[in-house]
Amino acid sequence: MRSTLVFVATFCLPLIAIAQPAEEALKQATKAVEADPTNVSALANRASLYERLDRYAEAAADYTKILALDKTLANIHQQRGSVQFKAGKIKESIADFDKYIELKPEAKISHWQRGISYYYAARHDDGRKQFEGYQDFDSNDVENAVWRFMCMVRSVGIEKARKDMLKIGNDRRVPMRQVYDLYKGELKPDDVFAACKAGQPEPGPLSQRLFYAHLYVGIYFDLLNDKKKAFEHLDLATEKHRIGHYMWDVARVHRDLLRKEIKKEK
């Protein structure tokens, strides 16, 4: 998603966490926590380092320790909700996002992360409503229309969902316009990948474009119940085109869920 909905802990990270590799910074952060287990700033710092290292359960544990000291820290609920999702704990992520919104009601309309968790929790009507609300926050985000569409497909089927797809303004990100038209049934997956390569982009921008292409083409095939192709694309998004954004974790979580479903069917 392209929203500026970015949440950080309300405490400044020590310079050591920026200047040193994450593993070394983690050692120093752990020393700080051991010196004072009730130091909220130290716990938040270590939690963020655990998250950078993909150690989500440990990050969530540190956020839990902070909330045991002060349950009113809204951003910590948000941070824990994010790592709970990344750890595949979908219901737990929703509980934290709900608490964050309870403490900061103005965040409800733009909280696309909760909408994504709703989708994976099979709370499709709640997800649809969340994304419809987000439309009032930003009507130019193709991803918002796609996630609402995904929720609707699970409830009413793909044809009805296409007829009621949200209209989107000017989303200039490549290949978002092609993704939108793919979901509407007006383009093919190959058209999405062709758009990524148009203009001969540099390797960095190209990889980012290809991440989103594989993510949304993979999800598209999943909606068509072609789990094999869906898994292939989501695996490419996850393993070949990692980006520093929450959506990378969405691709990984979706891929891992698909892997379990495919194993069950064998």
pLDDT along the chain (266 residues), means of 10: 47 43 92 97 97 96 98 98 98 98 98 98 98 96 98 97 96 97 98 97 98 98 98 98 97 98 90
State residue 11's pLDDT score.
42
Q: What is the pLDDT of residue 235?
A: 98
Which pLDDT belongs to residue 155? 96
CA-CA distance, 86 to 246, in Å (whole number)? 9
d(CA 145, CA 135): 8
C-alpha 51/C-alpha 57 separation (Å) is: 9
What pLDDT is stored for residue 2 in this prediction?
59
- Go through the chain and tell me how many residues it has: 266
DSSP the chain: ---------SSPPPTHHHHS-HHHHHHHHHHHHHH-TT-HHHHHHHHHHHHHTT-HHHHHHHHHHHHHH-TT-HHHHHHHHHHHHHTT-HHHHHHHHHHHHHH-GGGSTT-HHHHHHHHHTT-HHHHHHHHHHHHHH-TT-HHHHHHHHHHHHHHH-HHHHHHTPPP-----STTHHHHHHHHTTSS-HHHHHHHHHTT---HHHHHHHHHHHHHHHHHHHHHTT-HHHHHHHHHHHHHH---SSHHHHHHHHHHHHHHHHHHHH-
pLDDT of the residue at 247:
98
199 phi, psi to nearest 5 deg: 85, 5
Q: What is the pLDDT of residue 1?
A: 74
pLDDT score for 22 = 85
Task: Look at residue 215 in the predicted model and tell me its pLDDT.
Answer: 98
> Model's pTM, two decimal places?
0.92
What's the pLDDT at 109?
97
Query: What is the per-residue pLDDT for 12?
Result: 39
